[in-house]
Amino acid sequence: MARSMSVADAKAHFSECVREAEDGAPVLVTRHGRAVVAIVPVEDLETLERLRASGPDGGLASIAGRFDDAQDFVDELDAIAHRRNRKARLALKE
């Protein structure tokens, strides 16, 4: 689990935050008790940028339409997202 600290603490201990991120441990920075940014290893940022660049059709769900039982796969992903209280943004392209 990522360490969490206020903006003021992160500012005062920035070198320590950077060291933790270099070691693979993200640091969440909070403002008024709410996480607003994270200090992460550069590899994590590169992965995030790749995922964003691929867009919603670039992930695992993008291959769902290639299978005979694709709707079952999409339905299961929707169910998982619903259980996690997130909106599912999956749809098969015809």
Q: Give all domains of the chain, ordered by start, each with its CATH number.
A: 3-45 (3.40.1620.10), 56-83 (no CATH)
> Which class for 28: exposed (0-12), middle (13-18), buried (19 or more C-beta within 10 A)?
middle
Q: Is the dihedral of CA 46, 24, 81, 30 positive or negative?
A: negative
Residue among 65, 46, 47 at smallest CA distance from 57: 65
User: Comparing 75 with 44, which gets the higher pLDDT?
Assistant: 44
Give the predicted TM-score (pTM) of the model: 0.56
Instruction: Answer left, alpha or beta for residue 55, where phi above 0 means left and psi between -120 and 50 means alpha.
Output: left
Are 21 and 40 in contact by the 8 Å Cβ rule? The answer is yes
Decide if pLDDT at 40 tops 90: yes
pLDDT of residue 39: 95
Using 50, 70 and 90 to split pLDDT, how confident is the model at 92?
very low
Using 50, 70 and 90 to split pLDDT, how confident is the model at 63?
low
